[in-house]
């Protein structure tokens, strides 16, 4: 885990992040890919931990951001967590995972390694972990639930996985050439 990434480390991280998240921009309504400037800002934010996994050739194969300073995440509502988990929030024990990306989509080992590290950090403090998944990644959300339930000691351990919110976007497309109130659509 590192707090700051700069220079070549940040560029390598950007290349992996851009490679993995660019495709989501065509699959999800809300933009999931930070701009290069936004990404580099996060790399320099000491409140956001950068978790990395390297292969045997020292190539970056996994990257995640993680913080318990919720105010450092622009779209996260700290008030949401303060209202629902007041003790953990007051103690700084609510963590938010900004993103997890892995070089090879089929490499569940690296993904689970990153999630396991995050779980262990939060669990050591009796904390709460929050991640967001757009609907196109629902299968991944279920994988995380299964993995974290196992890490916690199974379904009877007291571990809870709660869908906190759902983002659903609708698009309505009007027919071309249709006339409404005497006006013909192009």
pLDDT at 175: 59
- The answer, yes or no, to whether residue 12 has pLDDT greater than 90, is yes
**Where does residue 62 rank: exposed (0-12), middle (13-18), buried (19+ CB within 10 A)?**
buried
DSSP the chain: -BS---HHHHHHHHHHHHHHHGGGGGT-SS--SPPHHHHHHHHH-TTSEEEEEE-TTS-EEEEEEEES-GGGSTT--HHHHHHHSHHHHHTT-EEEEEEEEESSTT-HHHHHHHHHHHHHHHHTTT-EEE----GGGHHHHHHHHHHHHHHHTSTTS----------------PPTT-EETTEE--
Average pLDDT over residues 152-171: 74
Average pLDDT over residues 149-173: 73
pLDDT at 33: 87
Quote the CA–CA distance of 17 and 39 in Å, as a whole number: 9
The terminus-to-terminus CA distance of the chain in angstroms comes to: 55
User: Does the predicted TM-score (pTM) go above 0.85?
Assistant: no
Q: Domains (ranges, CATH) in the chain?
A: 7-184 (3.40.630.30)
Give residue-wise pLDDT tens across range 117-126: 988 898 888 8
The single residue listed with the structure tokens 């990644």 is: 137
pLDDT at 15: 96
pLDDT at 159: 79
The residue with greater pLDDT, 85 or 184, is 85
The residue with greater pLDDT, 9 or 27, is 9
- The answer, yes or no, to whether residue 178 has pLDDT greater than 80, is no
pLDDT at 130: 87
Average pLDDT over residues 96-118: 88
């Amino acid at each position: 885990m590192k707090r700051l990434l700069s220079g070549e480390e940040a560029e390598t991280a950007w290349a992996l992040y851009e490679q993995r998240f660019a495709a989501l921009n065509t699959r999800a309504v809300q933009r999931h890919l930070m701009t290069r400037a936004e990404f580099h800002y996060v790399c320099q934010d000491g409140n956001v931990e950068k978790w990395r996994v390297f292969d045997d050739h020292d190539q970056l194969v996994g990257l995640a951001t993680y913080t318990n300073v919720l105010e450092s995440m622009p779209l996260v509502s700290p008030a949401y967590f303060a209202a629902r988990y007041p003790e953990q929030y007051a103690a700084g024990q609510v963590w938010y995972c900004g993103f997890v990306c892995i070089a090879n989509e089929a490499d569940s080992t690296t993904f689970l390694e990153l999630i396991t590290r995050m779980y262990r950090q939060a669990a050591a403090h009796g904390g709460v972990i929050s991640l967001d998944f757009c609907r196109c990644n629902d299968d991944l959300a279920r994988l995380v639930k299964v993995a974290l339930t196992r890490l916690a000691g199974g379904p009877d351990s007291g571990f809870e996985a709660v869908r906190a919110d759902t983002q659903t976007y609708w698009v309505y497309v009007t027919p071309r050439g249709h006339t409404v109130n005497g006006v013909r659509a192009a």
